[in-house]
Amino acid sequence: MDIPAIMASGPVIPVIEIESEDDAIPLARALLAGGVKVLEITLRTPAALGAIKRISKSVKEAVVGAGTVLTAEDVRRALDAGAQFAISPGLTIDIAEACADGGLPLLPGAVTATELMLGRKHGFRNFKFFPAASSGGAAAVKAFAGPFADLKFCPTGGINPDNAGSYLSLPNVPCVGGSWLAPKDLVASKDWDAITDLALKTQSLRA
């Protein structure tokens, strides 16, 4: 799946920080049951790569990627684990090259006009707008549609069910990212039904 298809697959990409590999498969299945099939596992915990490995091997309907990709080495580790895409809070040439070399679709982060122009110069047309809420929110993303009519955004950071609609109503926002779909307390208590409910509720967020 390429980045446009990943961004079109649903209104919310869950940003997952996973503490235990054992939770990976039930969590992926819970989100899938709620209609969420694209999963971003952030490389912020020791369990992240193992979680990607387990999901890519055992939950074939899911599309699992690595988030918080900060270095080319992260890209290689994500590829080895079976990640199908990478998301970075920013963009470096090292990361772009490692993804291109490995055939891994990359959604890089950008929040300023200059960052967008640099990313665009390197061939990117889709960006993670991060951190969204503190970088101007939906008003900033809306303003980018003027000069950057060919760019699309996945705003992430400070987005929740109450404000997601203000982003998703914009024509240049196919999806948003958010950690609220896999809250740590629900994962710790293995309340998979509650996570499926959260996922189901995202399906009506797009205006």
Catalytic residues: 40, 128
> Mapping DSSP to helix (H, G, I), strand (E, B) and coil, where does residue 57 land?
helix
Shortest separation between residue 89's beta carbon and ligand 3PG, angstroms: 7
Instruction: Provide the token pair at 116.
Output: 């967008």
Write out the H or E segment, with its range, that includes residue 132: none
Among 34, 74, 178, 202, binds ligand 3PG (CB under 6 A): 178
Q: Does 166 bind ligand 3PG (CB under 6 A)?
A: no
Q: Which of these segments, 48-56, 69-77, 155-163, 187-195, binds ligand 3PG (CB under 6 A)?
A: 155-163
Distance CA(37)–CA(57), nearest Å, equals 15
Of 15 and 98, nearer to ligand 3PG (C-beta) is 15
Residue 192 contacts residue 171 (beta carbons within 8 Å): no
> Mapping DSSP to helix (H, G, I), strand (E, B) and coil, where does residue 126 land?
strand
Distance CA(158)–CA(180), nearest Å, equals 10
Q: Does 157 bind ligand 3PG (CB under 6 A)?
A: yes
Q: At what angle do helices 48-58 and 24-33 cross, to 10 degrees?
A: 60
Nearest of 57, 59, 36, 61 to residue 182 by alpha carbon: 36
Shortest separation between residue 177's beta carbon and ligand 3PG, angstroms: 5
Q: Does 183 bind ligand 3PG (CB under 6 A)?
A: no
Q: Does 88 bind ligand 3PG (CB under 6 A)?
A: no
The 4-33 contact track toward ligand 3PG, x by CB under 6 A, reads -----------x------------------
Cβ-closest residue to ligand 3PG? Answer: 179
Cα-Cα end-to-end distance for the chain: 25
Q: Does 129 bind ligand 3PG (CB under 6 A)?
A: no
207, with CB counted inside 10 A (0-12, 13-18, 19+), is exposed
Among 20, 135, 163, 179, binds ligand 3PG (CB under 6 A): 179
Shortest separation between residue 60's beta carbon and ligand 3PG, angstroms: 25
